[in-house]
Chains A and B, each alone.
Chain A
């Protein structure tokens, strides 16, 4: 596996060689610094920790300052562990978009846009109750019945109801890398990725 931490910049569309207009997402990915290496002997699992996006020294706790100083880097906003990294990386290494190749497929995960408290029609795709007319009154988007009566005399666990929607961790798999611009740390992928512009993303490639 190979990966990077990135930031969603926004969406646009580009034309491919045959003239097709392709929707794409622009992601600023890396440079990521290896700030820690987890080993089987010491931690019980193997992983590397990557850090991305500068933040001010003033906003960093002393403990974290030391952590970054050890890797000889400036304080970063995001720390994320990547397991089963295909190449062996050493402490303080800097990873850039070169870890990916144009044309290959990667997985992108992030936190989806929050939708707030939503009803069952939007949240679970219920059809609502019946018609707007014919005596129907005030329950157009209601969930309807929650179950049977004296047996089981209760509502089953996991019954789909209204509630908080969005802000979930979502992974989109197999997005094609359309273009890499190494000098600006830009990855352009086909299609959309979770979350609003400016949110952090995890880019991974599994072989």
Chain B
């Protein structure tokens, strides 16, 4: 086995790859993740636009942005985090880039992403 094969073996055996629907930058998704408070566990949701997906395979992360009032809130989440319960794709957006950081500078109507028509 060469080095990359060994790395792939370790990643695939040490971390569980979860089955989420495919999503990309520009999509609006809802992430349901577990929160542990003391010894209680509950589910919280975070809904927003995906800015980017970064990395590969089990160590991949994604950045998700929402507007809380008029303040932008971003979260970076590892896709194979054991705390993520579910990812639901709410809207498919039409964007021409894989990383849509330009969205941070836009406000109001300009920050709206065109929805994909099927």
Contact = CB atoms under 8 A, between A and B. Distances in A.
Given A15-B82, A19-B82, A186 B6 contact: yes
A28 interface: yes
A197 B3 contact: yes
Q: Which one of B3, B15, B58 has the highest number of Cβ atoms from chain A below 10 Å of its Cβ?
A: B3
A12 B1 contact: no
B78 A26 contact: no
A150 interface: no
> Is the interface on chain A under 10, 10 to 19, 20 to 34, or 35 or more residues?
10 to 19
> Is the interface on chain B under 10, 10 to 19, 20 to 34, or 35 or more residues?
10 to 19
B78 to A, nearest CB: 6
A119 interface: no
Contacts of A14: 14-15
Contacts of A9: 3, 6-7, 10
A136 B107 CA distance: 42
Interface in B13-45: 13-15
Interface in A31-47: none
A19 B83 contact: yes
A10 B7 contact: yes
Interface of B: 1, 3, 6-7, 9-11, 13-15, 58-59, 78, 80-83
A21 interface: yes
Given A12-B59, A19-B81, A188 B7 contact: no
Contacts of A26: 6-7, 10
A179 B1 contact: no
Nearest to B10: A26
A26 B78 CA distance: 20
A23 to B, nearest CB: 10
Instruction: Identify whether the interface residues of B are mostly helix, strand, loop, or mixed.
Output: helix
The 4 closest A-B pairs by CB, nearest first: A19-B82, A14-B14, A9-B6, A10-B7
Nearest to B1: A184
Contacts of B59: 12-13
A103 interface: no
Nearest to A28: B6
Contacts of B1: 184
Contacts of B80: 15
22 contacts: A9-B6, A9-B7, A9-B10, A10-B3, A10-B6, A10-B7, A12-B10, A12-B11, A12-B14, A12-B59, A13-B59, A14-B15, A15-B15, A15-B80, A15-B82, A19-B81, A19-B83, A21-B81, A181-B13, A186-B6, A188-B10, A188-B14
A14 B3 CA distance: 18
Nearest to A17: B82
A198 interface: yes
Nearest to A27: B6
Given A10-B3, A15-B80, A181-B13, 18 more contacts: A9-B3, A10-B7, A12-B10, A12-B11, A12-B14, A12-B58, A12-B59, A15-B81, A19-B82, A19-B83, A21-B78, A26-B6, A28-B6, A179-B14, A184-B1, A186-B10, A188-B10, A188-B14
